[in-house]
Amino acid sequence: MSMLNTVRLPLIFISGVFIPISTMPIGQEIAPISPLTYGNDILEYVYRKIAFFTAAGYRGAGDLYTGPPDHSKLPLQEV
């Protein structure tokens, strides 16, 4: 188990999961070797790009089903 950690932990740190690759001079040369780098890139793309459109799609589908929200019924808050 400790032998696996000696390989796994450096790969995790070099792949850009915790620290961006652009801030590591040596990491920029080693990162393309690690398959975790590409997995990290895919997950980052999914969370930043596709998740927004999915949430907006759910909101739009809910509005089509129930109608747009009626904000006139909300109580006014005095400031």
Give the position of tokens 């400790």: 2
The pLDDT-based confidence of 7 (bands split at 50, 70, 90) is confident
Tell me if 17 sits within 8 A of 39, measured CB to CB: no
The pLDDT-based confidence of 1 (bands split at 50, 70, 90) is low
Concatenated DSSP letters of the chain: -HHHHHHHHHHHHHTTSSS-GGG-HHHHHHGGG-HHHHHHHHHHHIIIIIHHHHHHHHHHHHHHHH-S--GGGSPP---
pLDDT for 20-70, tens place per residue? 888 988 888 888 888 888 888 888 887 777 766 666 666 666 666 666 666
The pLDDT-based confidence of 79 (bands split at 50, 70, 90) is low
CA distance 62 to 53: 14
Q: What is the mean predicted confidence (pLDDT) over 6-15?
A: 85
pTM over 0.85: no
